[in-house]
């Protein structure tokens, strides 16, 4: 709703313990017609991204998210892809004592 009101592409990522870094940044898929790999963007490639329950993701996925947010781009198979401009990320996390959570990496963009 917010994305539409400001005319920005938006997406939502539900973080879970089985979520992989490629699930949020995207990955290369083999195209049989062109006989080459094509990059398919993940949900992180929207101008407004809502990340729900960040601390349910495993540390590796959290790290991929942090790197993308810090650098403004992602690298897949040795090629760099820039996140859109403008880019806004809004995230939520569960209470630390709740079961099934991982500690969130501290970064200058996380407000506890």
| pLDDT for 5 | 61
> Would you kindly state where each structural domain of the chain is located, as residue ranges?
2-91
| pLDDT for 112 | 38
- CA distances (Å), origin 103, targets 57, 84, 96: 9, 28, 7
Query: Tell me, which fold does domain 2-91 have in CATH?
Result: Rossmann fold (3.40.50)
| Mean pLDDT (the chain, rounded) | 85
Cα four-point dihedral sign 90, 95, 100, 103: positive
Q: What is the Cα–Cα distance from 64 to 57, expressed in whole angstroms?
A: 11
Question: Which tens digits make up the pLDDT trace of 40-81?
Answer: 999 999 999 999 988 888 889 988 998 898 999 998 988 999
| pLDDT for 14 | 95
E strand intervals along 1-112: 10-14, 26-31, 36-41, 48-52, 73-76, 79-82, 88-91
């Amino acid at each position: 709703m917010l994305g539409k009101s400001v005319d920005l592409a938006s997406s939502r990522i539900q973080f879970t313990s089985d979520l992989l870094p490629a699930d949020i940044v995207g990955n290369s898929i083999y195209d049989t017609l062109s006989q080459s790999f094509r990059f398919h963007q993940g949900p992180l490639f929207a101008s407004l991204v809502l990340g729900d329950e960040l601390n349910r993701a495993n540390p590796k996925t959290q790290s991929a998210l942090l790197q993308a947010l810090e650098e403004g781009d992602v690298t897949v198979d040795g090629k760099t892809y820039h996140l859109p401009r403008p880019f806004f990320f809004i995230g939520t996390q569960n209470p630390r004592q709740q079961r099934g959570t991982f500690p969130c990496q501290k970064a200058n963009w996380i407000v506890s």
